[in-house]
């Protein structure tokens, strides 16, 4: 039994800058790419391939097209977890695929988490310098920053800003479980801010009972230790029930998950969430008539 589920962010797609069908196509392609990686690899290969596909798609807030911080820079966060091993990067600049750097932290170092310039210097051993800022994101940044400098309290409106271009993630199952998440964070965040995505047990977790990747407002997900809390509710309740229980304590959150039996679930308390599942080669995804 082989399955890959991905997400491209939770929020309100009525506020999206692009046709919703484009987001649907993006997550479907990523789920298929992850599933294809299972043919010659394992669950870890699958989540890395799926998330890399989403990082390369400028529609999503990860890798190319990630949102900009208050200084007009991309600072990316990413994490992967597989068989009890973890690799993560935070506030990473100028890397094309942060999730691939996170994998190398897991496989090539004795550490778990590298941040900032240290993460960049490490990544440069394998990858070229890369500018992930797109013209569309630069234009949006200038608009938002102008409003911010005029006294518009944008921090109180980050839910709407974040929801347009969400964090990306993937969970895979082939007997083993793996999870990966990648994000550019929240528009106009302070330099050095790290969200939930690279924090084990918050935005990402893969344990004996289940694997999860979350999306939404990172501060809420961190405070609830969302993913590990869902994991630890099993098997006293179903995966669906565990997700719904934790959503009550984590506003503006969505998540995808697979348990150790191969059961797949997704849940969110936002208006929408972009997701796609490839189950034994068949792709299913969220509806576009929203």
Residues tagged active-site: 167
Burial call 76-113: b when 16+ CB within 10 Å, e when fewer: bbbbbbbeeebbbbbbbbbbbbbbbbbbbbbeeeeebb
Yes or no: say if 238 and 281 are a contact pair by the CB < 8 Å rule: no
CA 85 to chain CA centroid, Å, is 18
Residues 6+ apart with CB under 8 A from 182: 51, 54, 55, 62, 63, 76, 77, 78, 98, 99, 102, 167, 168, 169, 197
Distance of CA 175 to the CA centre of its chain: 22
Report the relative pairing of strands 85-92 and 113-115 from DSSP bridges.
parallel
CB-CB contact of 237 with 257 (8 Å):
no
Helix%, strand%, coil% for the chain, nearest 5: 35, 25, 40
As given in the structure block, the two tokens for residue 106 are: 């897991």
HSE of 213, CA atoms in CB hemisphere, 13 A: 35
For 19, residues 6+ apart whose C-beta sits below 8 A from its C-beta are: none
DSSP-assigned letter for residue 200:
B
SS3 39: helix
Q: Would you say 12 and 158 are in contact if contact means Cβ atoms under 8 Å apart?
A: no
């Amino acid at each position: 039994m082989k399955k890959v589920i991905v997400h491209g962010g939770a929020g309100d797609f009525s506020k999206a800058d692009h046709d919703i069908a484009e987001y649907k196509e993006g997550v479907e392609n990523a789920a298929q790419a992850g599933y294809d990686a299972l043919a010659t690899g394992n669950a870890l290969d699958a989540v890395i391939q799926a998330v890399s596909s989403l990082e390369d798609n400028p529609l999503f807030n990860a890798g190319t097209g990630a949102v900009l911080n208050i200084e007009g820079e991309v600072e990316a966060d990413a994490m992967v977890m597989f068989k009890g091993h973890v690799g993560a990067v935070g506030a990473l600049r100028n890397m094309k695929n942060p999730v691939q750097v996170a994998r190398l932290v897991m496989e090539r170092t004795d550490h778990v988490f590298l941040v900032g310039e240290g993460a960049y210097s490490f990544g440069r051993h394998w990858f070229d310098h890369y500018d992930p800022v797109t013209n569309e994101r630069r234009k949006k940044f200038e608009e938002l920053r102008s409003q911010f400098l005029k006294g518009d309290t944008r921090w109180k409106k980050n839910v709407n800003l974040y929801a347009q271009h969400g964090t990306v993630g993937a969970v895979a199952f082939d007997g083993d479980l793996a999870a990966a998440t990648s994000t550019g964070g929240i528009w106009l965040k302070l330099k050095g801010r790290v969200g939930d995505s690279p924090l084990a047990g918050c935005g990402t977790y893969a344990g004996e009972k289940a694997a999860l990747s979350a999306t939404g407002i990172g501060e809420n997900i961190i405070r609830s230790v969302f993913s590990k809390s869902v994991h630890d509710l099993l098997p006293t309740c179903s995966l669906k029930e565990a997700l719904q229980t934790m959503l009550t304590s984590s506003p503006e959150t969505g998540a995808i998950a697979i348990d150790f039996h191969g059961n797949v679930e997704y849940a969110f308390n936002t208006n929408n969430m972009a997701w796609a599942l490839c189950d034994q080669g068949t792709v299913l995804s969220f509806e576009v008539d929203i």
